Structure 1
Amino acid sequence: MEQLATGRVLIVDDETFYIDVLVELLGEHYQVSVAKSGEQAMKRINDGFRPDLILLDVLMKGMDGYQVCAQLKATPALADIPVIFLTVKSDVDSEMHGFELGASDYIVKPFSPPIVRARVSTHIALAKSRQALKAKNILLEERVQERTEEIARTQDVAIYCMASLAETRDNETGKHIRRTQHYVKSLAEALVDHPRFQQQLNEEYIDLLFKSAPLHDIGKVGVPDAVLLKPGKLDAAEWEEMKKHAEYGKEALENAESEYGSSDFLCVAKEIAYGHHEKWDGSGYPQGISEEQIPVSARLMAVADCYDALISRRVYKPPFTHEQAAQIILDGRGKHFDPAVVDVFEAIQDRFIEIAKEYADDDYE
């Protein structure tokens, strides 16, 4: 019964005698192809024959074995094919040169048939094992990536649910969360080349901003309903209670850090929750810090949150037009807001209009 080939072997030699011996020796167990020069060998491969192993004579006219091996190893798609040199040169320097080029083994002519069979079998088995391991690694990486994406989606859902809970207590909607997320991202992307921001605002940090922005008002869950839901103007004592939501948000996120460990996400979320009511001139709360003392994340959220509060309907006010809201932001340059952030807001305000329409509340006009 004919035995199935267990691999593909390319024999490259310019001596017919050795080709005939090797074909007879290996043909029963492998699919064998033959080339009588280095150039012919590369043509066989480039025409689609992908060997599992190459038996390569060193001394050939034209393109010699060293040149063929060097070209194979320089080609990413071919570099993993094991090469066994066939040569009459048995000196150490010649062997070392071959190994430096990437050869897997050396067989000295005249060779022993059992040795040839054993080494061919061993190197093909090793090559197939490497291929199988590579395939498994690719599959494992894909599964890890899928799991990572699943965890990220779960995290995003949890963040959104927590943020939505805080916002709905204040008669706001999840669309406020979406709008402010995208406002902050748009501002950050517009500032990536600004000298004051380019060291911090990279793709990874902007992604953290986008994910953590929804938690900016999570501290509102700690504010009493009588204050949070009051339809009219707050008195002095009520306003002091309302301002505590920044501290409550910071404490909630610190508790999460204490329980589960810190992360870049929690650090950025804490900066935003605690600092988005600070003002550039130092007149904000809760710390009264100013200018560069205010984290970048909080400075961006300050503009995003203020703009959205202005254009949104509240029980105590109708929605402002974009023009009215934009003018208030511009008037706050260097007082309430970081001047550089206001400048990019002015430059990309059409993007704010687009975001407001895309994530509009039902009463948006």
Structure 2
Amino acid sequence: MSKRNSLLVVDDMEINRVVLGQAFCDQYTILEAENGLEAMDIIRTHGDTLAAVLLDVIMPVMDGFEVVEQMYAAGLLARIPVFLITADCSEANMRRGYDLGVMDIISKPIIPYFIRRRVSSVVELFQARERLSRTVEVQEQALAEKAIEIQQLNSSIIETLSTAIEFRDCESGEHVQRIHDLTAILLRDLRVRGFAGCASLTDEEIDQIATAAIMHDVGKIAIPDQILNKPGRLTPEEFAIMKTHTIKGCELLDRIPKSRDNPIYQYAYDICRHHHERWDGRGYPDGLKGDEISIWSQVVSLADVYDALTSQRVYKPPFPPEEAVRMILAGECGAFNPELLESFRQQAEYIRQMYRSCPHKQAAPALS
């Protein structure tokens, strides 16, 4: 921040400039102008160093009120206090000056001691306010940087935890990133389509939901390895235990301090619990049906099914992308929202290209 160590005296009478300059020469570097036009040139050039402007009203070329109007239009009055020095302290002039934003109106003839006290008091307050404003800006910037740092840390913790769970599930850890990307792609497409519940989503909210989506299976940390990694079909008893990962995930999120204040965790809670619900009500754990299921949980459910189909698992080889799309659209993998299926159908080729560009244990293309 530049040091404000200059004072601009604007008056067409040299004697007035001398008197005012002498009153402040021990405090400031005195700059002088004979009219408003000269004053504006100096203000534009030295504005960052000006502590105040002492401004005559009646001057040739450009009068004092015109100077104030130009300073107001340029947003300078918030940073540089202006004092009108005039012999005409009529009510109309005073009202006009104060309405324009001058700090004080001082009548002529000039009394050096008097004007020095009035100007110095205001300048001290102005500069204190500027220092405070600058301090607040620095603090706000520091807080913003800290918030970004915390957000990045939270995202890293979320991704690390989710990836660790995928490793337990004999996955490469890339599954969670693909779920993140698929969720964002489908939500953005639904927003473009004006789908209810998505039309008003902001980019930030979609990013939060996509981040939350990678925690969909966090509850698997509570599932025994012999069930989680069983190569064959699960028994009814084992499947009942596997289904509890939806509830266990919510219980884990509930243990995170202040989690309810974080929108990412709020989305994650809903997704953890409901990403195995089905449009026809035949899902779990709550048997929700249709629009009872949040759109983000529906999207993550579909993304999870597609990624599971096209990935190699301990219990199956991967399906080709075209076959996976066909199976989902044909209803062979459970019931989904018809509008969501249409979005998925429209984005299928883009999703296939996205999978091609990232490492993924995917099947070779289907033979004709």
State the TM-score, normalized to the length of structure 1: 0.89
Q: Which residue number in structure 1 is paired with residue 249 of structure 2?
A: 249
1:111 Cα deviation from its structure 2 partner = 1.6
Q: Which residue number in structure 1 is paired with residue 214 of structure 2?
A: 214
1:54 Cα deviation from its structure 2 partner = 0.6
* 2:14 alignment partner AA: T
Q: Which residue number in structure 2 is paired with residue 231 of structure 1?
A: 231
Q: Which residue number in structure 2 is paired with residue 307 of structure 1?
A: 306
The 3-state SS of whatever aligns with 2:316 is coil
With over 3 angstroms needed to count, the CA separation of the structure-2 counterparts of 1:107 and 1:165, relative to structure 1, is same
For structure 2, which runs of at least 5 residues remain unmatched after alignment?
none
The 3-state SS of whatever aligns with 2:174 is helix
Give the percent of matched residue pairs that are identical in Structure 1 and Structure 2: 32
Q: Which residue number in structure 2 is paired with residue 117 of structure 1?
A: 116
The 3-state SS of whatever aligns with 2:233 is coil
Asked if residue 191 in structure 1 is aligned to residue 193 in structure 2, the reply is no
Asked if residue 296 in structure 1 is aligned to residue 295 in structure 2, the reply is yes
Q: Which residue number in structure 1 is paired with residue 159 of structure 2?
A: 160
Tell whether the 8 Å contact from 1:37 to 1:62 is kept in structure 2 after alignment.
yes
Q: Which residue number in structure 1 is paired with residue 326 of structure 2?
A: 327
Q: Which residue number in structure 1 is paired with residue 38 of structure 2?
A: 40
Deviations 1:242-292 (A, max 9, x none): 2222122223223447x7655322221111111111111222222222211
Q: Distance in 2 between matches of 1:52 and 1:146?
A: 32
Q: Distance in 2 between matches of 1:349 and 1:293?
A: 26
Tell whether the 8 Å contact from 2:163 to 2:174 is kept in structure 1 after alignment.
no
For structure 1, which runs of at least 5 residues remain unmatched after alignment?
none
1:132 Cα deviation from its structure 2 partner = 2.1
Tell whether the 8 Å contact from 2:190 to 2:199 is kept in structure 1 after alignment.
no
1:230 Cα deviation from its structure 2 partner = 0.7
Of stretches 315-324 and 43-52 in structure 1, the one that deviates more from structure 2 is 43-52
Q: Distance in 2 between matches of 1:334 and 1:67?
A: 75
Tell whether the 8 Å contact from 2:246 to 2:274 is kept in structure 1 after alignment.
yes
Q: Which residue number in structure 1 is paired with residue 6 of structure 2?
A: 8
Tell whether the 8 Å contact from 2:40 to 2:67 is kept in structure 1 after alignment.
yes
Tell whether the 8 Å contact from 1:175 to 1:359 is kept in structure 2 after alignment.
no
With over 3 angstroms needed to count, the CA separation of the structure-2 counterparts of 1:334 and 1:118, relative to structure 1, is farther
Q: Which residue number in structure 1 is paired with residue 142 of structure 2?
A: 143
* 2:16 alignment partner AA: Y
Aligned-residue Cα RMSD (Å) equals 2.5
Deviations 1:140-175 (A, max 9, x none): 112111211221122112212221232222112321
Q: Distance in 1 between matches of 2:20 and 2:102?
A: 19
* 2:22 alignment partner AA: E
* 1:40 alignment partner AA: E
The number of equivalent residue pairs is 360
* 1:87 alignment partner AA: T
1:119 Cα deviation from its structure 2 partner = 2.9
* 1:310 alignment partner AA: L
Q: Which residue number in structure 2 is paired with residue 174 of structure 1?
A: 173
1:136 Cα deviation from its structure 2 partner = 1.6
Q: Distance in 2 between matches of 1:196 and 1:6?
A: 56
